[in-house]
A and B are shown apart, each in its own frame.
Chain A
Amino acid sequence: MPDRIVKDKSGPVRITPEAAAKVAHLARLDIAPDELVRMTAQLEGMLEHFADIDALDLSAVEPMTQAFPLVNVLRADVVQPCLDRDEVLAAAPAAEDGRFRVPPMIGSGA
């Protein structure tokens, strides 16, 4: 979706309200149009500030994904107690027959 970014020769990277609407959908956030305009401007300001790292040559740098290197942390393959089902379901907005209850997956206007 190249329209999500507008690279203006005179200015920094910008995010459009249309692109922000797409992101809101991906994040499953219903955001009202006027709120989206305000948020787009704020995101634009942030992305402008974050452009400071564009000056760095990172071609030879390995990404860092964890602060303390631990690899393949496994526990003994022994059955352990788990959370109590009724206690867990009691905290759910809706439950039925020992399961979470949700609205239809395929709905009218999705």
Chain B
Amino acid sequence: MSTPSAPATTAAAIAAGVRDGSLKAADIVEQHLAAIATREPEIHAFNLVLADEARAAAAQIDQRVAAGEDPGPLAGVTVALKDNMCTRGIPTTCSSKILEGWRPPYDATVVSTLRDAGAIVVGKTNLDEFAMGSSTENSAFGPTRNPHDTSRVPGGSSGGSAASVAAGFSQVSFGSDTGGSIRQPAALCGVVGVKPTYGYVSRYGLIAFASSLDQIGPFTNSVEDAALMLDVIGGHDPLDSTSIPQAHPSLRDAMQQDVAGLRIGRITDLPEGADPDVVERLEVAFDTLRAAGAKIVDVQVPAFTFGLTAYYLIAPAEASSNLARYDGVRYGMRVEAADTNAMYGATRAAGFGDEVKRRIMLGTYALSAGYYDAYYGKALKVRRLISDDFDRAYQHADVLLTPTSPSVAFQFGAKGDNPLAMYLCDTYTIPSNLSGQPGMSVPFGTGAHGLPVGVQVLAGTLQEPTMFRVAAALEAAATKERGLQNGGVR
């Protein structure tokens, strides 16, 4: 097992140093490009490394600092973007052959916001094709490897983004989470990953998978960096009509408050299936928070267990509609044929991989005449049950704690040709996508094979401030525990 590069510092410290001139953005970028040069051939976190662009952006930021201008709150912070976020003039593929070589004519709002804040984009990261998967094995451009053990997956679908932070390729990264695609790879790669409340971050320019579930969030080495990122990218965007039209309180401020008096919910009817090493770490997390002055309360979320079914009907249904746009007419590849119908069928057959086809089939079936009520319609009602059950639970608990992933990182091919086995990786993350509520994975020690384990903190709608307080307490305890175990060496 090789050790991932330890982060030299935090995004917050880098930005502060670059802003006051004690650090050079150019040096920061070179450090990350050097890490990429060393380990990227082995890891394959990126679909595209933007070395020249990153160097140019760094030079510009250093010039602005020298000229006495404000370079922004994320000055010099290197970021990697999941390759389903549109970057103007820069290839954006969704790790699909159907979009290979496509250069978007516009930037996602998150991308322009990050650039305006002084962040430096170092590359576009690998993902399961169109974000459909939990291992990044479904990428048309080959899998990403887990920096902690390259015989294992980094999780998915944002596996490249998680691996980028874990391997020190970028200080932070961004992914999208439709059913756990930020939190699960964060857990498997030992980094912090946050899915905010639906509508907290603009989806404009995020290539749609399931529009009512998709949400962008950060991967970071620390809870504070995650708070900093959301403080920058969160907020209303008129270009996204599902964006919540209000400002959000600073999470960086909120997380300073301790957890004394908070009610931490244990879901007594949580679906089984988590490995013993993962369950053990969750128990340590409860003990930790109790010792910090929080109160552990039992709650029930009976519909939690039906999340998987509701999700795998709703998300493919939305995907089958969203992915209808890849028809060989406006962008991406085309397989020439005698007429348009033949061209659509041949283009989509050649351009999409197996999992994407499977989900389009499932979604089309669930929406088709005669089966809509039995599948899609029923799933929407189950979604309501899950949301209502969460709301009831949050009357008794401020946050809920669960495992993020049922297991530590698994080996390539471990789920074989059984799609359902892969879907079960999302058991604990899916329900909060359906309810639209926030969730985050915090690295909390190690489990089997010395691999990272994540604990998931879930909270009610727009209760990110409380979620971050709990995450900060868990992080502090994990750091202390690690210090006792190995003398403070990360």
A83 touches B365 (CB 8 A): no
Chain A: residues with Cβ within 8 Å of the partner, total of: 58
The one of A15, A24, A102 that contacts B329, using a Cβ cutoff of 8 Å? A102
Cα–Cα distance between A28 and B438 once the two chains are bound (Å): 36
Q: Interface code A56-84, partner B: CB below 8 Å = 1, 0 otherwise?
A: 10100111111110100101000000011
Tell me, yes or no, whether B370 is within 8 Å of chain A by CB.
Answer: yes
Cα–Cα distance between A5 and B372 once the two chains are bound (Å): 13
Tell me, yes or no, whether A11 is within 8 Å of chain B by CB.
Answer: no
The one of B312, B357, B434 that contacts A31, using a Cβ cutoff of 8 Å? B357
B340 touches A68 (CB 8 A): no
Closest B residue to A2 by beta carbon equals B370
Chain B: residues with Cβ within 8 Å of the partner, total of: 76
A65 touches B242 (CB 8 A): no
Tell me, yes or no, whether A103 is within 8 Å of chain B by CB.
Answer: yes
B357 touches A105 (CB 8 A): no
B212 touches A43 (CB 8 A): no
Chain B nearest CB: distance from A106 CB in Å? 7
Residues of A within 8 A of B371 (CB): 4-5
Residues of B within 8 A of A100 (CB): 329-330
A68 touches B436 (CB 8 A): yes
The one of B199, B349, B380 that contacts A64, using a Cβ cutoff of 8 Å? B380
Residues of B within 8 A of A63 (CB): 377, 380-381, 383-384
Of residues 21 through 38 on chain A, the ones whose CB sits less than 8 Å from some CB of chain B are 23-31
Q: A68-B199, A93-B334 are contacts. A46–B312 as well, Cβ < 8 Å?
A: yes
Tell me, yes or no, whether B63 is within 8 Å of chain A by CB.
Answer: no
Residues of B within 8 A of A10 (CB): none
Closest A residue to B436 by beta carbon equals A67
Q: Interface code B331-343, partner A: CB below 8 Å = 1, 0 otherwise?
A: 1111011111111
Closest A residue to B88 by beta carbon equals A87
Tell me, yes or no, whether B427 is within 8 Å of chain A by CB.
Answer: no
Residues of B within 8 A of A93 (CB): 328-329, 331-334
Q: Interface code B341-383, partner A: CB below 8 Å = 1, 0 otherwise?
A: 1111110110010000110111011001111000101111111
The one of B199, B241, B341, B369 that contacts A67, using a Cβ cutoff of 8 Å? B199
Closest B residue to A1 by beta carbon equals B370
Residues of A within 8 A of B379 (CB): 53
Residues of A within 8 A of B382 (CB): 53, 56, 58, 61
Cα–Cα distance between A74 and B213 once the two chains are bound (Å): 21
Tell me, yes or no, whether B103 is within 8 Å of chain A by CB.
Answer: yes
Tell me, yes or no, whether B313 is within 8 Å of chain A by CB.
Answer: yes
Residues of A within 8 A of B384 (CB): 61-64
Residues of B within 8 A of A62 (CB): 381, 384
Residues of A within 8 A of B409 (CB): none
Closest B residue to A74 by beta carbon equals B241
A29-B357, A91-B330 known; 11 other A-B pairs, CB under 8 Å?
Answer: A28-B348, A53-B378, A56-B306, A61-B385, A64-B381, A64-B384, A66-B436, A83-B105, A90-B103, A103-B338, A103-B342
Pairs A-B, 5 closest by C-beta atoms: A107-B339, A67-B436, A63-B380, A93-B334, A67-B198
